[in-house]
Amino acid sequence: MKHDENKTILITGASSGIGRELAIALAKKGHKVFAGIRRKIDKTEIESLNPNIKGVYIDITIPSSIDKAFWFVYKNTLKIDILVNNAGIAVAGPIECIDISKKKEQFDVNTFGAISVVQRFMPLMDGAKIINISSMASTGIFPYIAPYCASKRAMEILFNSFNLENKSGIKVISVKPSCVKTPIWNKSVNRAREDFNNYQSSSKNKYEKDLLFMEKNALKNNDKGIEIGVVVDKIIKIINAKNPKPSYTIGTQAMLAELVSKLPQNFINFLIKSKLSKITG
């Protein structure tokens, strides 16, 4: 397979954000795109954008849904050249307050869901590339979004082992962008607000100022995060690259987070606690 020929690409979480824009950009270049969506209205809308896009119903947390998606794709192609694991959610809040079911949901989507898709679609993926949309959060240095950070770090560890182990010539690439202007921030804030309303009064009093700051900071990403197009352009370059690197960090924030994460943990904690105390103290 030549690296510049038209490819067959499966993208999870393609109804909005990075997944949607990537599906459109790739379809315009002549690639056959299977766009993972969960609602009928999303399928109709995304297929109307380009004849090279086929909507695929898939909930990556439900094995039967993944299986149905596999058979749908199998009926339409014999091979997947690229799988983009893009579907994701962000669970936010203090560790002591977030219900364990919410923590499990975070991993079910961001980590185990991605692995489940790969396991089911393996028969179609000889010599393919897997591109995982990770995050600068995988450095693990950000308070109040620890489940999100941990799910992205776990995703990278599991897929790095898969990269070493697989006998199918599959290459795994991790893309770690800075905060991106996508709907995930509004969704995360709405989830956190709902959860906060269920906290005990003592927890609300302890963490209200911190969470208000984190909420405002998250909402800023809708306007001040890096453009989706920056990430989409990088992914397209990775798709076309004959020998891509195993990991790409995108944006100044992500590069800075990566550098800070290499400092001694005590010093990292001191810096973050100092910043939080000035803002919320």
pLDDT tens for residues 199-254?
Answer: 777 777 788 787 777 777 777 766 678 999 999 999 999 999 999 999 999 999 99
Query: Which tokens go with 131?
Result: 């591109």
Q: Where are the domains of the chain?
A: 8-280
18: left (phi over 0), alpha (psi -120 to 50) or beta: alpha
Domain 8-280 listed as CATH 3.40.50.720: yes
Q: What is the pTM of this model?
A: 0.91
Q: Please provide residue 195's backbone torsions phi and psi, each rounded to the nearest 5 degrees.
A: -65, -40
Question: Phi/psi of residue 35, each to 5°?
Answer: -100, 115
Q: Per residue in 21-78, pLDDT tens?
A: 999 999 999 999 999 999 989 999 999 999 999 999 999 999 999 999 999 999 999 9
Position 2 scores a pLDDT of 44
Query: For residues 141 and 150, is the Cβ–Cβ distance under 8 A?
Result: no
Q: Indicate which residues carry an active-site annotation.
A: 148, 152
